[in-house]
Structure 1
Amino acid sequence: MRKAINMIYFHEELVAKATETIKDAADLADIRTDLQKIIDAQHGIQQFGDTITAHQLNAKLRKKYPIIDEMLAFANTICSPVQQSNVSANQTEIAQATSVL
């Protein structure tokens, strides 16, 4: 007696959509991880004055997401930069490091 072989057929467009959805989910998880790194860096600045980690993360994220520079350039065309006054040099550095995140 011969056994029947059951075959499963997938629609090519559904396979492509499933693959795209899985990739999008992985990308979103990666973005969520990066956002948590930003939050951690902000806490590091506020608690310990750790601006070095913030600057390193800033460089890494700008390289990973080039759109950040484009968005900042656009934002600079629609509003003037905020001026700070009566702030110590250390507070200015911390504020600048936090703002780039």
Structure 2
Amino acid sequence: MELAVVGNGEFVTGFRLAGIRKVHEANDNELESTVRSILEDPKVGILIMHENDLKKLPEILKLKLNESVEPTVVTLGGTGESSNLRDKIKQSVGVDLWK
């Protein structure tokens, strides 16, 4: 499984420098189509997005991303709570690793 990152140029630059290969730079107009194409890629196990970009997506797509196990969607930045990552890990692994 691979990591994929979607976001604006400023957000994705660090991931490129870290060596992640599936980095998709997308502006607001391209965001929805880019996320949909990543959801269809069977090689992607984790999708990383900025929380503000997730909020820009249509409600139906946000619901699909929140319920998605593969790929697991992890949001960074914004006003997200640390429990969000905990819930995502619990959802994908099946156990609460913090206990």
TM-score, length basis structure 2: 0.25
- Name the structure with the higher helix share: 1
Structure showing greater radius of gyration is 1
TM-score, length basis structure 1: 0.25
